[in-house]
A = this chain, B = another copy of it.
Amino acid sequence: MTRASTFTASLPHWLQGRPLPEALATDEERMALVHELADLNWRAGNGGPFAALVLDSASGELIAAGVNVVLASGLSSAHAEVVALSLAQTTLGGWDLGGRSLELVVNWRPCAMCYGATIWSGVRRLVIAGSGPECEELTGFDEGPVRDDWREQLEARGISVTSDVLRDGALRTFAEYGGSASTVYNARRA
């Protein structure tokens, strides 16, 4: 066995070739793009029905767009949030996005892993479509153990939270995914 010394994740071809706006002015415009990419993503078979954007909160400049590529990359950590944050850091040239006021926009409350990844990235704002049990109920994914005071813990670290932006659009995507024959990749072959 030759042990790997490098790992890589890439956006799917359909997203690499897709023209994206330079900037998005409102939370609703930002979330509408998230919903569109999340829906395209699971139908293309790259991974789960999740997408995330990193933007400049003030100007709306779009820094990175990510989707879940767990299946395409073979990496269990390649969730939409990790992909978007990592691409933003690659584009901007460093691990700390805190040099300007950037935000992460995603179509549900991040899972246990992505919750931590959000904190370490340096973004100052998290915008989500919702945060209840509906995501797990509709998709079958385990979102993992997160503290009940998850929002206060983010705010204590200087990350504001805006929720319920285009909530119905997220639920629609999850319901359509849940009704399909797609792989729900909770690990351990369970």
Contact = CB atoms under 8 A, between A and B. Distances in A.
Q: What 3 A-B pairs have minimum CB-CB distances, sorted nearest first? A: A113-B116, A112-B116, A122-B187
Interface string A12-55: 00011000100000000000000000000000000000000000
B1 A91 contact: yes
A15 to B, nearest CB: 8
A89 B187 CA distance: 12
Interface of A: 1-11, 15-16, 20, 61-65, 70-71, 73-78, 82-83, 85-87, 89-91, 93-99, 111-117, 119-122, 124, 142, 144-147, 149-150, 153, 157-158, 185-190
Contacts of A85: 76-77
Nearest to A187: B122
Most chain B CB inside 10 Å of its own CB: which residue of A149, A150, A188? A188
Contact of A121 (B11, B20, B76, B94): B76
A97 B145 CA distance: 20
Given A5-B16, A185-B95, A115 B113 contact: yes
Contact of A145 (B3, B94, B98, B150): B150
Contacts of A62: 3
Contact of A6 (B2, B8, B89, B111): B8
A76 to B, nearest CB: 4
Contact of A97 (B3, B15, B187): B187
A142 to B, nearest CB: 8
Given A3-B64, A76-B85, A95-B187, A116 B144 contact: yes
A38 B168 CA distance: 46
Contacts of A189: 96, 98-99, 122
Contacts of A158: 188, 190
